[in-house]
Structure 1
Amino acid sequence: MASKIEVKDLLEAGVHFGHLTRKWNPNMSPYIYMERNGIHVINLYKTVAKLDEANEALKKIAASGRKILFVATKKQAKDIVADKVSKVNMPYITERWPGGMLTNFVTIRKAVKKMAAIDRMKKDGTFNTLSKKERLQVDRLRAKLEKNLGSIADMTRLPGAIFIVDTMREHIAVKEAQKLNIPIFAMVDTNSDPRPIDYVIPANDDAGKSIEAIMTEVTQAVADGLSERKNDKQEEKEAKATTEAEAPAAKAAAPVEAKEAAEPKKEAPAPKAEKAEAPVEEKVEEAPVKAKAEPKAEKADDLTKIEGAGPKAAEALVNKGIDTFAKLAKADPEKIKEILTEASSRMAHLDPTSWPKQAQMAADGKWDELKEWQDNAKGGVE
């Protein structure tokens, strides 16, 4: 990752300025440093720590291939968010939040498909067969859809996480994400409630400089995650190419080895007593070596690919030994619920009923089937 942001940088950007003391939310008291001239001052050391934690989680989600939806409809934030997020090719909402954007995602996708259908009409010439009035209506509809949903055209399924600037203004987005167990990352000011947020970044969400400073760090973390994913794919391709290149050489060497193996049979037979002794000695010596070599540690799987399981939930399961899709597929949902609740009371609302079913599809390598199921299910809930 790029160099970590320092308290001095946040101070210069005005990230420490909170709201008037009379407008504060008492739940933000752990993140408040002091009060000066009737205004609360945010503890920037805690901001840096929380920002690092959020960036690490965002990096993992981006590296897993899931989309992160950024939401900022307030005037000061919309242009900054659109500029920063478009560079990392992630979806964002900077106009009005469409009600049911997450909870009624199927309908939203239909609206996006309608936009694509209008584009096809223009390409194949069907658009020109319409009357002038109809063409104007279609153009207006296309412009409206582009304005509200153009930035989420590539989001074919529910996002892996949602990042919000000003949780009070975007309270509907928070409620929808909570309902679908989607991890919430947010810039939280002193007048907001941090309890529904999974990854709180205490910061001034009203000043452009403050928003830009935080968004620069966050989008950099996402970019690092995408870069890591790209490198992993490249390594896989190279390994596959090497394996394919070695296969013909191995096949060519096989007949030679077969001939060499056959040659000793033509030689004069050795005394039977000597032949019988050699294999017995070899077997006795080799047996313990084979027994030691057999146990292999299973490679941990990325459990965040299960719809409804965020980074914290995945970490809780891994700590309890459920670190692969195969193990999760055999786990009892009630037991999973106990593990999550024990790890954090914030995860008590999660519903892991469908997780074993999803994990089984993942373990069997049925990724297309899993993706289709997740698109139809809402946040992993049938």
Structure 2
Amino acid sequence: MTGPFNDVERSIFTAKEVLSEDYQPDQILERDEEIDEYRHALEDVLFGRTPQNIMLYGRAGLGKTAVTKYMMDALRDEAAKRPDADELFVHELNCNGQTVYSVVRTLVNELLPEGASEFPKRGLSTADAFEELYAQFDRRGGTHFVVFDEIDHLDDVDTLLYELPRARSIGHITNSKVGVIGISNNYTFRQGLSPKVKDTLMEAEISFSPYDASELRAILADRVDRAFVDGVCDDSAVARAAAIAAKDRGNARQAIDLLRVGGEVAKKRGDDGVNDSHIVEAQDLVQRGRLRNRIRDQTQHAQLLLETLAYLEGRGETPARSKTIKTRYERVADSHAVDPLTTLKSIQNHLSDLHMLGFLQRTDRNRGESGGRYYEYGLDLDPEIVLDIRDEIETERDR
């Protein structure tokens, strides 16, 4: 009996997983300077000293998370060989959509002894959660690095970054040491922290710049060797994928996705190899898919503001001032049965973040003494695609 999958063969791909988002390479290419900075910031751990706090900045797809995983694995291996180093624990959390309480609760439950009851989801305060966290750190002992990915998405991040870095110095923990690693897509994240938090952190800062076309070609060539059958992926395909990604945001993830989708296009057509024409066809598919993921990663109110700007853009009413955007945003929020943000300042903060992330264009207007100075915003995306994606997200929520 024949079935729909009987004639499916590998043909082009040998290890397609190498092109997936969760693939962690054994070697990190084109990030030697960042790795060297990271190494200097981490080396105190090898001598049993209190770890330094570290903040990583850069847009999505620039290798921040991959480099961090690589460095943590290497540090664990080296610490195990060093007589002066404490036992090393690494805790990785994504802060998107989380609260300080939920983040601390997750850490507590990760540290609790086997068979212990989980820390409750509700009914206790954030202070209670921190108290239990400190008790579990000291019960375990050793050195703990807590990696907070997308830390800029965390509500009340000042509380978290004020508590953990000073926990040992003020006596909350005595038998353990804690270091914080924050990963942020927002280059201005530190500017929004309170002065006392900035003084407490005393962190090393590592900034990840966009890849250029040459760096992306090197990364892609390595993935091609692993992912595709020998000789099926033309150099022209690698060059085109690298050029497209470099011109856009210098994003390695985008370049790798172009190769993967280009391979899928070639396979679907029945072609024997992947060339630059397949990459060109893949470009629209990848851009739409990545935009969908980027919009999904935003908070609910940020998504509603993007939807608002898409409506205004479609009606030719942009660029628009934040007051105008707020009025329309309130109607959009009401249409989704969501309580809107109530202050103009909160709207302006979200608009500023969306501009920084590349979703919006911002124009600085100066009308002199009579008109004052203000910003106007417009959508830097196709409004129809934004509205389609928002409709998909809301439809999934309603299921």
User: Does the TM-score normalized on the shorter chain lie above 0.5?
Assistant: no
Greater relative contact order (Cα < 8 A, sep 6+) = 1
Which structure shows the higher helix fraction? 1
TM-score by length of 1: 0.24
